[in-house]
Copies of this chain bind each other. A is one copy, B any other.
Amino acid sequence: MVKVSVIGATGYAGAELMRLLVSHKEVNIVHAVSKSFAGKQLSAVYPSFLSSDYLLEEMDIGIIAKDSDIVFTCLPHGASASVVPALLEGGARVIDLSGDFRYRDAKVYETWYKQTHTAQEWLGKSVYGMPEIYREHIAATALVGNPGCYTTCGILALYPLLKNGVIEPKGIIIDAKSGASGAGRSEKLANAFCEVNESVKAYGVGTHRHTSEIEQELTFAANDTVVVSFTPHLLPIKRGIISTIYATPKDGIVETDIKEAYTMYKDEPFVQVFDGALPEIKHVTGSNNCAIGYVLDKRAGCLVIVSCLDNLIKGAAGQAVQNMNILCGFDETEGLNLTGWYL
């Protein structure tokens, strides 16, 4: 049994992580930390945990590092950078769900997050936690920068196409739509039910931080600078992301080339490439799957790719557990064999 702790256990991603961990056979949760609710039971915040409850604690980095093999940090960006080094130095391995350890270049982080990175010395040692690309590096690291939700959805859809030179690296457009849990558990008016239901909005056009994370990985894939136009939208649903992606196929590309490129995922447990159909959010909700489909619109000279995932699972907590499984040498699907809910 591996001893794990969760720092930030009562945000939406943290609570989802707790939900996955309590049914993971190889895990013993030793500390569940919540700044806002320390001293209460987790079930006092989320009554759904009544039958699998934990006492929420204050954050004591020294104790947590000492007691834990793996620590998940589910903190706002910036806050993670301020505690992760001490956890690592204390001997724990860390899977960080913020944006703080996803970048190779601190300047990119500082440009998009508009703040100084306070733990730059760790950027070179952290591994970007996307198992489909970096599985072997993840297995060998002490620090995983767990990818963002939009970014996972976008990168998994585009990586094989750029890697295999099937699409042009220029002019890629990602029109992404996310459920409201992506905005976290907060009291903002913009997230109130009456402001969200029966409406949809675009936001952060041209400025959303996940753009830079997507570009970093796609640039590696293409071995050429990739600049994407990324537009996120807020949907009146609780969970799930659907990204509709527009790319220009290279000259002479036909459907079998695309299909061939996606064979990169043929042994992946959590990427489903649909054959001649498009995924919908309800096909993946509740699972750790990212489902991908595509239409080659020859008339318009455009390849349209649709990818879906559950932002709290493959887009956050599920991928974090997948990374833990890799770090610990468990079966990568342990605790993640989740058939989607559909309903």
Contact = CB atoms under 8 A, between A and B. Distances in A.
Interface of A: 12, 15-16, 19, 22-23, 46-52, 171, 173, 175, 177, 179-181, 185-189, 191-203, 205-206, 227-229, 231, 233, 235-240, 242, 244, 246, 248, 269, 272, 274, 277-287, 289, 291, 295, 297, 299-302, 304, 306, 312, 337-343
A156 to B, nearest CB: 15
How many copies altogether?
4
A13 to B, nearest CB: 10
A269 B248 CA distance: 38
Contact of A282 (B181, B198, B274, B342): B198
Given A19-B342, A187-B189, A286-B341, 7 more contacts: A198-B281, A202-B242, A202-B306, A203-B278, A205-B278, A229-B304, A239-B343
A202 B244 contact: yes
B295 A205 contact: yes
A281 B201 contact: yes
Nearest to A296: B206
A267 to B, nearest CB: 13
A248 B59 CA distance: 48
Contacts of A233: 177, 242, 244
A86 B283 CA distance: 36
A255 to B, nearest CB: 12
Contacts of A302: 173, 206, 229
B48 A340 contact: yes
B185 A194 contact: yes
A252 B201 CA distance: 29
Contacts of A304: 202, 205-206, 229, 231
A210 to B, nearest CB: 14
Contacts of A179: 194, 198
Contacts of A301: 227
Contacts of A283: 47-48, 50
Given A194-B238, A194-B343, A48 B337 contact: no
A274 B202 CA distance: 14
Contact of A242 (B188, B193, B201): B201
A235 B205 contact: no
Nearest to A187: B187
Interface centre among A173, A282, A284 (most CB of B within 10 A): A282
